[in-house]
């Protein structure tokens, strides 16, 4: 028993360090870039209102709570591994299999997020489960982890559940594939809360238009009853929950402005 307690403690320290690190790196890097290229970013600002210092403070402090909840929730992964229910593939990487693993978990997470997100918007759940996140009506990159405790648990439950599923069906994931997925998740999350359209003009009508833009999620924060998807527009389009003015709102802010030309013009 002492051995399992040591592993849980190691997991908590590692999870806290990793989740805190990826949050600070992703949100901090994007914030610095938006500040450094302020002329470019201001031309692409989605809302006229800007977040206040109180907004930034709330987002950061609640994100610290989320980091702790993520570590506590994913203790289940340690227990699953110790029980033999979850296996992590640590063999030499077969790169085509690796690519398939990363693609599969991203698609699965997008589906999980859409339906979980819809559930959090039910009248019976919204106030205690999701209202805190929507206090960021004009979100910033620091809102990426700004969740109530229930939502943080719901968000973090996906990875241990997915690892359990793929282990049961005999297709354990590479540990590096899990790392890439988690890096992709925080990067896209921070981009969705940037408050500035990061995607190029014409994106929504391009062959890659099914990948969500910053405007897509920003409309969810400002309107609240549409655009529930995370990475892709598939579920919103299938279920009729995409904002009817999404493309028009995107076109209004996704100006074809080169970063360096915009800065030089300043």
Q: Could you tell me where the DSSP H helices lie in 85-195?
A: 95-120, 123-129, 131-134, 149-156, 158-168, 175-192
Please say if the pLDDT value at position 256 is more than 80: no
Please answer whether residues 125 and 151 qualify as being in contact, where contact means their C-beta atoms are separated by less than 8 angstroms.
no
Distance CA 5, CA 210 (A): 44
Tell me the domain boundaries of the chain: 2-265
pLDDT, tens digit (0-9, with 9 covering 90-100), for 197-238: 999 999 999 999 999 999 999 999 998 889 999 999 999 999
Taking only Cα atoms into account, the Rg of the chain, rounded to an integer number of angstroms, comes to: 19
Return the ∠ at Cα 73 (arms to 12 and 174), rounded to 5°.
Answer: 75
Residue of higher predicted confidence among 189 and 11 = 189
Q: What is the DSSP letter of 196?
A: B
pLDDT, tens digit (0-9, with 9 covering 90-100), for 154-197: 999 999 999 999 999 999 999 999 999 999 999 999 999 999 99
* Host H or E run for residue 22: helix 2-36
pLDDT, tens digit (0-9, with 9 covering 90-100), for 22-52: 999 999 999 999 999 999 999 999 999 999 9
Give 260's pLDDT tier (boundaries 50, 70, 90).
Answer: very low
* DSSP codes joined into one string, 63-97: HHHHHHHHHHHTHHHHHHHHHTS---B-S---HHH
pLDDT, tens digit (0-9, with 9 covering 90-100), for 62-76: 999 999 999 898 899
pLDDT, tens digit (0-9, with 9 covering 90-100), for 97-148: 999 999 999 999 999 999 999 999 999 999 999 999 999 999 999 999 999 9
Mean pLDDT confidence for 228-251? 97
pLDDT of residue 82: 87
Q: For residue 115, how many other CB atoms are within 10 A of its CB?
A: 12
Please answer whether residues 102 and 189 qualify as being in contact, where contact means their C-beta atoms are separated by less than 8 angstroms.
no
HSE-up of 193 (CA within 13 Å, CB side)? 27
Please answer whether residues 145 and 58 qualify as being in contact, where contact means their C-beta atoms are separated by less than 8 angstroms.
no
Supply the pTM of this predicted model.
0.91
pLDDT of residue 46: 97
pLDDT of residue 127: 95
């Amino acid at each position: 028993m002492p051995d399992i307690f040591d592993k849980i403690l190691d997991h908590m320290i590692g999870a806290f360090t990793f989740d805190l690190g990826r949050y600070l790196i992703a949100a901090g890097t994007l914030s610095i870039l938006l500040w450094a290229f302020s002329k470019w970013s201001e031309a692409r600002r989605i809302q006229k209102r800007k977040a206040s210092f109180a907004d930034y403070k709330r987002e950061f402090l609640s994100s610290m709570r989320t980091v702790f909840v993520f570590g506590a929730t994913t203790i289940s992964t340690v227990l699953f591994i110790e029980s033999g229910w979850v296996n992590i593939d640590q063999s030499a990487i077969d790169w085509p299999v690796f690519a398939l693993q990363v693609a599969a978990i991203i698609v699965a997470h997008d589906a999980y997020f859409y339906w979980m997100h819809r559930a959090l918007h039910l009248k019976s759940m919204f106030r205690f489960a999701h209202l805190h996140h929507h206090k960021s009506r004009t979100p910033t990159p620091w809102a990426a982890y700004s969740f109530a405790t229930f939502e943080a648990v719901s968000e973090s439950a996906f990875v241990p559940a997915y690892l359990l599923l793929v282990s049961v069906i005999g297709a354990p994931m590479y540990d590096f594939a899990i790392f890439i997925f988690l890096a992709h998740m925080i990067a896209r999350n921070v981009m969705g809360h940037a408050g500035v359209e990061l995607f190029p003009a014409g994106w929504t009508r391009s062959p890659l238009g099914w990948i969500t833009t910053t405007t897509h999620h920003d409309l969810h924060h400002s309107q609240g009853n549409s655009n529930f998807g995370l990475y892709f527009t598939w579920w919103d389009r299938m279920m009729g929950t995409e904002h009817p003015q999404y493309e028009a709102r995107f076109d209004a802010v996704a100006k074809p402005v080169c970063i360096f030309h915009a800065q030089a013009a300043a």
